[in-house]
């Protein structure tokens, strides 16, 4: 969808639909007030009849309102006036977009960016509108045989503003780029494991390299990884007929600057290996590659925006399956860093592929390394589906990620990474065990990874609770693409 900024007043807009906010208790936004006055109190009459309460996400589509150029006016509830929060705003945008897309209006102008949302700037509201609108329009259809297209889908969405049109145009394009990245992450995550294999991910990375001159893609095969000594990563793929891939996408936007390295866990299906997962819900283990999907999405977002920064994506990709040659509990493998690992649970495989990818990242002389992984069920118990878990070996980096999460409303919460937890990983038979017992599972997983990050500034994002939704609304969310892009934008600004 195309996005644009307009300074025309609501009553003179020539788009197919004008969208205005109604607050709880029947209070009107500035643009709604203008339309109400022009139509001789028509909106007030609707509210008095009880047809519109202003609850966040409520909508009412009006036709041919007197005195208004546009043939349609859409009233959207935004909660209490001056107390609209980010959740209310997102609910309003989602509802707005779905109604518009089915209304017959091919272009519309939204006046919702004029309302107060927790002191967020107009630019933030414009960017968030683009992100949320694209999320509302996304529908997975790749493996469906009967997909009925919308007859007259929404094609253009404008933002009414009185000034700062250049800043708002940039905000809308930034939002669209982030949304495009999220949609790619959703699509990769939602694809079934028999389509989205490590080879498929590698092919998508090659396509991105061909699409953008700023991106160079490299694929390492299992023989290459064997030469590099990636015994930990390769031990996970031994149980699968699908060959592992180590995917690198190098985005070059800032000359010789040291890069930010993003390491995304790419387990395209995780059956647990010999430590087999329960059958209930195992279908959702196709989402175990959502860390890699978010890195794919981030790369195309920053490439579309042509950001002046260097970013390297490193994606270790494999399946984790039970087989006669699969890892067994009690096996000992040797990582690329030379550390030996006792595998006490084959279902703690994400850290086994990530540790070699983290070691591999050193060759890029990184300024910062961030890994993103659906790593532990324990993080879901701790934080639910609201916040991504964050652990880091550098507090400045942790603070920067926390700020980026708040700025983007794709939030994180920091957990400790104290040395006190490291003893849980002690092994009688290797340098380190791959699990640390039932206590503090998310923390000990990060402690494991920290053993391979001693030579650089590093943070770990555990997205097991935020990467996808279960139940009736099952599907990948595209998170934490907004967080990662915001972090990179802030990093550029602070340089």
Q: Which residues have a catalytic role annotated?
A: 277, 351
∠ CA 210-310-458 to the nearest 5 degrees? Answer: 120
> Are residues 305 and 253 in contact, defined by beta-carbon separation less than 8 angstroms?
no
Q: Are 369 and 362 in contact (CB under 8 A)?
A: no
Which candidate, 95, 110, 84, places its Cα nearest to that of 31?
110
DSSP assignment, residue 257?
A: P
For tokens 């989402």, the residue is 287
61 is written with which tokens?
């589509």
Residue 1 corresponds to which tokens in the numbers above? 């969808």
Q: Which string of b and e fits 357-369 if b means at least 16 CB within 10 Å? A: bbbbbbebebbbb
Beta pairing class for 388-392 and 412-414:
parallel
Which residue(s) pair with 245 in the sheet?
Answer: 317
Nearest to 415 by CA among 384, 446, 385, 381: 446
Q: Are 33 and 89 in contact (CB under 8 A)?
A: no
C-alpha torsion angle, residues 431, 422, 442, 429 (rounded to 10): 30
Q: How far is CA 147 from the centre of its chain?
A: 26
DSSP codes of every residue in 368-430: EEEEEE---THHHHHHTTTSEEEEES-HHHHHHHHHHHHHHT--EEE----GGGGGGG--SSS
How crowded is residue 345: how many other Cβ atoms within 10 Å of its Cβ? 15
DSSP annotation string for 292-351: HHHHHHHHHHHHHHT-SSEEEEEEEEEEE---TTS--TTEEEE-TTS-EEEES-TT--HH
Number of residues in the chain: 495
Query: CA-CA distances (angstroms) from residue 416 to 265, 443, 462, 480?
Result: 21, 7, 13, 20
């Amino acid at each position: 969808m195309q996005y644009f900024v307009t300074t025309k007043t609501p009553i003179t807009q020539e788009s197919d639909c004008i969208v205005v906010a109604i607050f709880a208790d029947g209070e009107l936004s500035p643009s709604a007030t203008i339309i109400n006055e022009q139509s001789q109190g028509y909106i007030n009459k609707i509210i008095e009849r009880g047809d519109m309460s202003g609850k966040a996400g409520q909508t009412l589509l009006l036709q041919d309102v007197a005195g208004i150029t546009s043939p349609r006016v859409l009233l959207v509830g935004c909660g209490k006036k001056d107390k609209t929060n980010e959740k209310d705003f997102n609910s309003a945008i989602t509802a707005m977009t779905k109604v518009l897309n089915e209304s017959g209006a091919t272009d519309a102008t939204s006046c919702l960016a004029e309302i107060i949302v927790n002191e967020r700037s107009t630019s933030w509201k414009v960017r968030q509108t683009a992100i949320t609108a694209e999320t509302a329009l996304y529908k997975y259809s790749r493996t469906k045989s009967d997909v009925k297209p919308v007859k007259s889908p929404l094609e253009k969405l404008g933002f009414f503003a009185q000034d700062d049109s250049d800043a708002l145009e940039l905000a809308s394009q930034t939002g669209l780029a982030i949304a495009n990245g999220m949609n790619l992450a959703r699509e990769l995550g939602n694809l079934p494991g028999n389509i989205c294999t490590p080879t498929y991910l590698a092919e998508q990375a090659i396509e991105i390299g061909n699409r953008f001159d700023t991106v160079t893609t490299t694929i390492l095969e299992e023989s290459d990884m064997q030469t590099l000594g990636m015994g930990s990563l390769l031990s996970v793929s031994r149980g699968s007929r699908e060959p592992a891939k180590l995917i690198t996408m190098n985005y070059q936007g800032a000359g010789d600057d040291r890069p930010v390295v993003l390491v995304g866990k790419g387990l395209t299906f995780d059956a647990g290996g010999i430590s087999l997962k329960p059958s209930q819900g195992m279908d959702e283990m196709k989402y175990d590659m959502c860390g890699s999907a978010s890195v794919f999405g981030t790369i195309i977002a920053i490439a579309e925006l042509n950001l002046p920064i260097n970013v390297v994506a490193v994606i270790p990709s494999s399946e984790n399956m039970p087989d006669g040659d699969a890892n067994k509990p009690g096996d000992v493998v040797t990582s690329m860093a030379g550390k030996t690992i006792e595998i006490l649970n084959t279902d703690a495989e994400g850290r086994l592929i990530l540790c070699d990818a983290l070691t591999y990242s050193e060759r890029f002389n990184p300024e910062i390394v961030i890994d993103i992984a659906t790593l532990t069920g324990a993080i879901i118990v701790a934080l639910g589906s609201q916040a991504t878990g964050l652990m880091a070996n550098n507090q400045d980096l942790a603070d920067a990620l926390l700020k980026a999460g708040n700025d983007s409303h794709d939030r994180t919460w920091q957990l400790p990474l104290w040395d006190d937890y490291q003893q849980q990983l002690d092994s009688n038979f290797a340098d380190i065990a791959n699990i640390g017992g039932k206590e503090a599972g998310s923390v000990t997983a990060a402690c494991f990874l920290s053993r391979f990050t001693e030579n650089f500034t590093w943070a770990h994002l555990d997205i097991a609770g935020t990467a996808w939704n279960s139940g009736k609304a099952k599907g990948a969310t595209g998170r934490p693409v907004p967080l990662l892009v915001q972090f990179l934008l802030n990093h550029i600004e602070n340089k």
